[in-house]
Amino acid sequence: MDVSTAFSDLEAEWQGNGPVVDDKEPTVIRSIPKAHDGGRPACFSSTFTEVLFVLTATMAIAMSSFTAGSTTVITSFIGRDLGMSIAEITWISSSSALASGAFLLFFGRIADLLGRRSLFIGSLGLFAVFSLAAGFSRTPIALDVLNGVMGLMSASAVPPAVGMLGVIYEKPSKRKNAAFACFSAGNPLGFIFGTIFSGVATQLFNWRASFWLLAIIYLVFTILAFFTMPVDDTDKQKFDGEAVKRFDILGTVLTVAGIGMFSAALSIGDNAPHGWKTSYVLAMLIIGILMMIGFVFWEHFFNYPLMPLGIWKDRDFSLVSHRFIFS
């Protein structure tokens, strides 16, 4: 089974059963939209709209790699202009990657509360805003923090994008394979185009122009998402005491803090005063590993886990995950 099928089956298990498509309003999702018999999904008025939606969803997974590619080219210019230390330069890219990875599961649950469409469009728009602000940064700490916030926006955009693709293209078909192939290409292509666009903008103007160009690109895709992303009418969880109880707060803390500390230790280990033997680097590394192990144990016993461990019993999902990690 291919990558797209694995994600689709997983999404179907999480979302439940029973799609109902309203024929009178073909642009509105009723529970779960589908592409019947490999044809165009009923939630799209035309193939052109469908292509724009898939391209916009692809830009969600390209956020972190686009940022990484952009900053890789301009770190020396930024460091010289702002008088940054080696550690501060390292955090330009590390802060974005750290926030993106640590909060991915968290925003997956947030999407159930706010709805996929609103979270997706809001994430793209805020990413553009913070990218614009990063271009005006005057201090190293401001630039590092803003890049971290951009990583948060990347983490919040990916779950609704994957979710919408999974429910729209539920059944295996060539159309579904093409949509998920495009989506999967967003990560490597984002890095490539990030380096190219950033290099050109920096040569023509300065390093700040690369962030402004990134803001313009994602502003355009925010507008496209508003007009092309189907309306999500699926039932959303009410934000009440029961929702808080099911939110798995402890699991969220364990995974965010665990991944955060582990990733931070890996990022600063080389530049620490005593390298990997530095006390705080070892402490963050060990505590991060222990918290991630604790997260796995907690998810096994909690009734409403943030990441159901049963999904790892699915051979196709496990293979997809290993391919993604080692690629």
The predicted-structure confidence for 160-200, as pLDDT tens digits, reads as follows 888 888 888 877 788 888 888 898 888 889 999 999 999 99
pLDDT of residue 56: 94
Do residues 170 and 44 touch, judged by C-beta distance below 8 A? no
Task: For residues 7 and 84, state if they share a domain.
Answer: yes
- Among 3-12, 103-112, 213-222, 314-323, name the one with the lowest average pLDDT: 3-12
pLDDT at 21 over 50: no
Q: Is residue 254 part of a domain?
A: yes
Q: Is residue 317 part of a domain?
A: no
pLDDT, tens digit (0-9, with 9 covering 90-100), for 285-316: 999 899 989 888 887 887 777 776 666 665 54
What is the CATH classification number for the domain harbouring 93?
A: 1.20.1250.20
pLDDT of residue 204: 92
Task: For residues 252 and 112, state if they share a domain.
Answer: no
pTM of the model: 0.75
Domain count, the chain: 2
Higher pLDDT among residues 102 and 9, named by residue: 102
HEC secondary structure over 111-174: HHHHCHHHHHHHHHHHHHHHHHHHCCCCCHHHHHHHHHHHHHHHHHHHHHHHHHHHHHCCCCCH
Q: Is residue 199 part of a domain?
A: yes
* Residue at which a domain ends, from 197, 215, 236: 236
Task: For residues 59 and 184, state if they share a domain.
Answer: yes
Task: For residues 156 and 69, state if they share a domain.
Answer: yes
pLDDT of residue 278: 86
Task: For residues 95 and 167, state if they share a domain.
Answer: yes
Task: For residues 127 and 189, state if they share a domain.
Answer: yes
Q: Residue 136 is part of which domain span?
A: 3-236
pLDDT of residue 108: 78
Sign of the CA dihedral with 54 first, then 130, 284, and 269 last: positive
What is the Cα–Cα distance from 36 to 48, expressed in whole angstroms? Answer: 18
Q: Is residue 319 part of a domain?
A: no
Task: For residues 218 and 253, state if they share a domain.
Answer: no
* Residue at which a domain ends, from 236, 262, 297: 236
pLDDT of residue 150: 93
pLDDT of residue 27: 38
Task: For residues 40 and 118, state if they share a domain.
Answer: yes
Q: Is residue 187 part of a domain?
A: yes
Task: For residues 163 and 223, state if they share a domain.
Answer: yes
Task: For residues 259 and 184, state if they share a domain.
Answer: no
Q: Is residue 137 part of a domain?
A: yes
Rounded mean pLDDT of the chain? 79
pLDDT of residue 52: 93
Task: For residues 173 and 286, state if they share a domain.
Answer: no
Task: Quote the tokens at residue 167.
Answer: 């429910």
Q: Is residue 198 part of a domain?
A: yes
* Residue at which a domain ends, from 214, 236, 258: 236
Element (H, E) at 232: strand 231-232
pLDDT, tens digit (0-9, with 9 covering 90-100), for 22-77: 443 433 444 445 555 567 888 888 889 999 999 999 999 899 889 989 998 898 89
pLDDT at 317 over 60: no
Task: For residues 225 and 255, state if they share a domain.
Answer: no
Q: Is residue 59 part of a domain?
A: yes
pLDDT of residue 242: 65
pLDDT of residue 243: 65
pLDDT at 270 over 80: no
